[in-house]
Amino acid sequence: MIKKKAMTGAEAAAEAMRQINPEVVAAYPITPQTPIMHKFSQFVAEGDVDTEYINVESEHSAMSACVGASAAGGRVMTATSANGLALMFEIVYIAASSRLPIVMNVVNRALSGPINIHCDHSDTMACRDTSWIQLYSENAEEVYENNLIALKLAEKVNLPVMVCQDGFITSHAVESMKVLDDKTVKDYIGVYKPKYYLLNIDKPITSGPLDFFDYYFEHKRQQIEAMTKVIPEFHKIVKDLSKLLGKDYDVLEEYHLDDAEYVIISLNSTAGTVKHTIDKLRKEGKKVGALKIRMFRPFPLQEVAKWLTGKKSVAVLDRSASFGSVGPVYHEIRSALYETEAKPKVVSYIYGLGGRDINVEHIEKVFEELENGTAKAENYLGVRDENER
C-alpha cells in the first residue's frame, strides 16, 4: 500500500530508517543532518523501533561503533554531514575495506573553512575514493527510496552506501512524497544473514587483523572488482521496488534526452531545477535535455557514454571543486566519453559552493551559452567577478 505524506528530506530518511529497523544506530549531531537523528531518536524513545541507539562523543566514534556493530552481524545505519564526515573519514575507509554493509545518510554541506553550514558536495566528493557506494537524491521521495535500495545493495555486495541529499534545500524543506507501508518494506528488505559475523560463536572469526604486503593488495583488488558488480545488482534490486512504487529507477535518469542537442548534467536537488527549466525552454521549442546522476560511485561510465553520444554539447554542473584539477563530475563525464565516436563538446560549470543559490535563470544561461557556443571549457555560475566586492 502506498501512502502520500508531507515530509522533509530529513524526515524521509528517518522514516526509511524506522521501517528498516536497524539493530544499531550510532550517530553524533551535526547541522544539517541533525533532524534525521532527532526524528529517529524519537522513534527509539517511543519504542517504534528495536534499535540499539548509541550516543557517542564524536563522528569518529559513531563510525567506529557502526563498524563494530556491523562486524558483529547487525544491520547498521548512521547519518552525518560535512565536517562530521571529515572527522569520521579514517573509519569510513575502514568500514568499506572491512566490507561492512553500513548505510549512512549524508546531508551534503560545505566543508569548512571558511566556516559554512550550507549545501555543497565537497563532503561526499572528498569520500569518492573510499570504496563506498554513493547514491544522490533529487528530493525527499528519492531519499526514502535510495535508503531502501542502499540497504539491499549494501548487503548484496558487502560494501557500505552513502545516501546523499542537499543540506537545507532537501533536508529541511517539506515535500509531498510516497511511502510504502511497514510490512511491505519489511518484506522488501528481507532478513539480513551475513556469511561471517563476530557474534557467531559456532564459527569464530577474526575481523580487522594486520594485512601487510602479503594480502592487502588482494583485498583491494576484491574491492575494485566488487564495485563492478554494483550496477548489475542495482538493476535487480530496483525491479521489485519499481513494482511496489510504480516508478522506474536507474543509475542515471534522462530527461528529454532522445531528441535533445544540448544537455545539462547534475546531481541532487539541482536536477529538479534543471528539469523545471527544461519544461520552460521546451515550450519555446528548444532542443534541451538533462542527465541526472543517481549513482556516482561506482560511476556509470558506459551508461553515460550511451546517453551522450551524438549530442551537440553538454554542460556538467559541479557543486564542489577539486582544487588543482577539474570538477569531480566533469572529470568522470569526460573520462566516460573518451572511447565514444561522436563526442559532444563538454564544458564545466562550478556552482553553488557554500550554499550559493542556483536558480532557473542560471540554468537558462547555461543552455544559452551551450547553444550559442560561448561557454568556455571551464566556467563559474553565480560567483562574483574578482574585482567585485
CB of 61 to another protein, least distance (A): 21
Short-list 88, 268, 244, 235, CA closest to 160: 88
- The binder of another protein chosen from 183, 215, 232, 357 (CB under 8 A): 215
How far the first Cα of the chain sits from its last, in Å, is 55
Nearer to another protein, 159 or 308 (CB): 159
- The binder of another protein chosen from 113, 114, 209, 246 (CB under 8 A): 209
Is 89 among the residues that bind another protein (CB under 8 A)?
no
Do residues 328 and 128 lie in contact, with contact meaning Cβ atoms separated by under 8 Å?
A: yes
CB of 26 to another protein, least distance (A): 20
CA distance 125 to 252: 18
Is 93 among the residues that bind another protein (CB under 8 A)?
no
Helix 182-189 and helix 9-20: axis angle, to 10°? 70
Residue 166 gets which letter from DSSP?
E
Is 205 among the residues that bind another protein (CB under 8 A)?
yes
Is 203 among the residues that bind another protein (CB under 8 A)?
yes
Q: Give the CB-side neighbour count of residue 94, counting CA atoms within 13 A.
A: 19
Is 217 among the residues that bind another protein (CB under 8 A)?
no
Short-list 18, 8, 9, 10, CA closest to 180: 18
CA distance 186 to 209: 34
Nearer to another protein, 60 or 99 (CB): 99
- The binder of another protein chosen from 61, 207, 322, 340 (CB under 8 A): 207
Nearer to another protein, 6 or 205 (CB): 205
Q: Give the three cell numbers for residue 293.
A: 546522476
- The binder of another protein chosen from 31, 41, 81, 97 (CB under 8 A): 97
Name 185's Cβ contacts closer than 8 Å, sequence gap at least 6. 16, 19, 20, 148
Short-list 103, 92, 85, CA closest to 31: 85
Nearer to another protein, 130 or 137 (CB): 130
What pairs with residue 297 in β-bridges?
A: 134
Is 213 among the residues that bind another protein (CB under 8 A)?
no
Is 279 among the residues that bind another protein (CB under 8 A)?
no
Name 182's Cβ contacts closer than 8 Å, sequence gap at least 6. 19
Short-list 381, 354, 352, CA closest to 367: 381
Binding region for another protein (CB under 8 A) out of 27-35, 216-224, 227-235, 264-272: 216-224
Binding region for another protein (CB under 8 A) out of 96-104, 260-268, 362-370, 377-385: 96-104
CB of 208 to another protein, least distance (A): 7
Is 100 among the residues that bind another protein (CB under 8 A)?
yes
Binding region for another protein (CB under 8 A) out of 27-35, 115-123, 139-147, 198-206: 198-206
CB of 209 to another protein, least distance (A): 6
Binding region for another protein (CB under 8 A) out of 10-18, 204-212, 293-301, 372-380: 204-212
CB of 153 to another protein, least distance (A): 16
**Alpha carbon distances (Å) from 177 to 162, 184, 386:** 21, 17, 42
- The binder of another protein chosen from 98, 184, 322, 340 (CB under 8 A): 98
- The binder of another protein chosen from 206, 325, 372, 387 (CB under 8 A): 206
Question: According to the 3-state scheme, what is the secondary structure of 92-149?
Answer: HHHHHHCCCCCEEEEEECCCCCCCCCCCCCHHHHCCCCCCCEEEECCCHHHHHHHHHH
Is 222 among the residues that bind another protein (CB under 8 A)?
yes
Quick note: the x/- pattern for another protein over 178-197, rule CB under 8 A, is: ------------------x-
CA distance 265 to 294: 11
Applying CB under 8 A, the residues found at the interface with another protein are 97-100, 158, 196, 203-209, 211, 215-216, 218-219, 222, 226
